[in-house]
Amino acid sequence: MRPWRGVVTLAAGAILLGGCIGATPRDDFEEEIRSRGGGFTESMIGGPLEDAARRLGTDDLQLLMLMATPEYAAVTMEVRNPNNSREVDRYFYQGGSLQSTEPVKVSVRDDLDSETIHVNDLAVDMLEEMTDQALATFDTEGGFVSSIQATSVWGPDDPSNMLLGWRISLSSPRTDAVASFAADGEFLGLELQ
């Protein structure tokens, strides 16, 4: 067999397989991310919180809303301006970088102080442990963290008492669930949807 025949065979094979070798379709990649737990890390929320605090020049960052979607490496937060507490802006981060900011309309009837989340009260450094515990409790094949939200949750002793905490939404091909944690990372419960 002449050497050039090998080269032609190789070239023909390369053209036939062209564009296929080593690439992963988007759907398969997302499946891989979910199989690893959804992609949440502490820095996904910690980084944007530090960045927002630095931009506003405050050590006491005050939020009305904080939500992370690990699958898209996205974090959205509504931040109160420390210099004008009735001025609220929505910050959108993706991949750790600030993508956009936009003003949020606030009604004169809104009691912002009662809705405010003080970031210093949140155990952000416990979030990875919390998500691991939530997934272990969920214990469902293909389970992953779909979103994390800092919000009011039911108190453990007095269910009528709302307190600041974390809601971790879990998903799987067959069922969804929500795990609740106190602000300091204490596990409060898992509710199947």
Interacting residues toward another protein by CB under 8 A:
14-15, 17-19, 21-26, 29, 32-41, 44, 70, 73, 95, 128, 144
Q: How far is the CB of 138 from another protein (least distance, A)?
A: 15
Q: How far is the CB of 146 from another protein (least distance, A)?
A: 12
Query: Between 59 and 141, whose beta carbon lies closer to another protein?
Result: 141
Tokens at residue 164, please? Answer: 């600041």
Q: How far is the CB of 167 from another protein (least distance, A)?
A: 19
Measured between alpha carbons, how far is 34 from 71 in angstroms, rounded to an integer? 8
Measured between alpha carbons, how far is 107 from 78 in angstroms, rounded to an integer? 15
Amino acid at 152: S
Q: Using only C-alpha atoms, what is the Rg of the chain?
A: 23
192 beta partners: 177
Query: Between 128 and 186, whose beta carbon lies closer to another protein?
Result: 128
178 and 171 Cβ atoms separated by less than 8 Å: no
Query: Between 37 and 82, whose beta carbon lies closer to another protein?
Result: 37
Query: Between 128 and 176, whose beta carbon lies closer to another protein?
Result: 128
